[in-house]
Chain A
Amino acid sequence: MTDTTQTPMSAEEKFGRELVARTTFEKEAVWLPSLSVHHMNAGQTFIDGKTFTECLIEGPAVMAVMNGTTFDSCNMGVAENPRTLLLQPLGDKIAGVVGMANCRFVRCRFVQVGFTGAPEMLQQVEADLLSARSEAEQA
């Protein structure tokens, strides 16, 4: 018997589902708040297991850097002091952020994106930022 009660999927819902299903993004602009909302609509509280290559990652957003997320040759944003890109969570939970686990960013550029996470993660991101700046100055 045909189920006539099921409404057809809207174009926006179809777009969202396809976006969530993707695991690779290459040479495209990614609006982080939108990507996050589509994942939340799909029941995923964080973004997991995606590779972004040469993408422009745009905010405004604060990214929670979770386990397995790496940054390879990325431009993290305009900052004389790398610490301006970092926020420290004050509680055990973090509200308002875009969680990203097991994601790989390769040669991406970040605009209006801050970063947060566990203390050791913040220290590592800060060290990476200082290292990247030092390399850029020497080049």
Chain B
Amino acid sequence: MTDVATAPITLQPLGPGPTYTRVNVWLPQLMLETLRGGASAVENRRFEGCLFEGPAVILPIEGCNFDGCDLGDAKGDPRSLMLAPQGLSRVVGPIPFRNCQFINCRFVGVGFTGAPAFLDSMAAAIGGGASQ
């Protein structure tokens, strides 16, 4: 008898990149593959024309650029896409990115977190009709 309650979900591996072009990226899967590869953050990747899907909250640590991206449906308030970490030095739950380039990507069901200055600049960029 098949135990459907524990049946595995099969996903096509995203692989280590470092360049992904027009790929659908399920963010929890990307992080899982990153952890299995021994890294604690998604690093040194370039995403072009990709669709990123959550549920997930992204934490750009350093060296990340969002160029021509659609960051999601802010429902009239850019800050609806953002969460402020309450700890001073670290945060649990979001997916950390370092030195990653996002070019003409689209984000669905994704929130963003980071330092106050980053959140302010991102809100200003979205509110101004352009992505950061």
A residues contacting B by CB (< 8 A) are: 11-12, 14-15, 18-19, 22, 28, 31, 33-34, 36-37, 40, 59-63, 77-79, 81, 83-98, 112-116, 122, 126
- Give the residue of A33, A86, A93 whose beta carbon is less than 8 angstroms from that of B28: A33
Instruction: Determine the distance from Cα of A122 to Cα of B83 in the docked complex, in whole angstroms.
Output: 13
Contact (A94, B111) CB under 8 Å given A33-B56, A114-B92, A114-B94: yes
Instruction: Determine the distance from Cα of A25 to Cα of B42 in the docked complex, in whole angstroms.
Output: 31
Instruction: Determine the distance from Cα of A62 to Cα of B4 in the docked complex, in whole angstroms.
Output: 27
Q: How many residues of B contact A (CB 8 A)?
A: 45
Contact (A79, B92) CB under 8 Å given A18-B5, A60-B28, A86-B87: yes
Instruction: Determine the distance from Cα of A124 to Cα of B90 in the docked complex, in whole angstroms.
Output: 20
Distance in angstroms from A9 CB to nearest chain B CB is 12
Query: Do B77 and A62 have beta carbons less than 8 Å apart?
Result: no
Within 8 A of A (CB), among B93-132: 93-95, 109-113, 119, 123
Q: Does B79 contact A (CB under 8 A)?
A: yes
The residue of chain A having its C-beta at the shortest distance from the C-beta of B72 within the complex is A95
Contact (A93, B86) CB under 8 Å given A60-B31, A62-B111, A85-B92: no
Q: Does B14 contact A (CB under 8 A)?
A: no
Proximity bits, B1-14, A CB within 8 Å = 1, else 0? 00011110110000
A interface secondary structure, majority? mixed
Contact (A62, B94) CB under 8 Å given A18-B4, A95-B110, A122-B86: yes
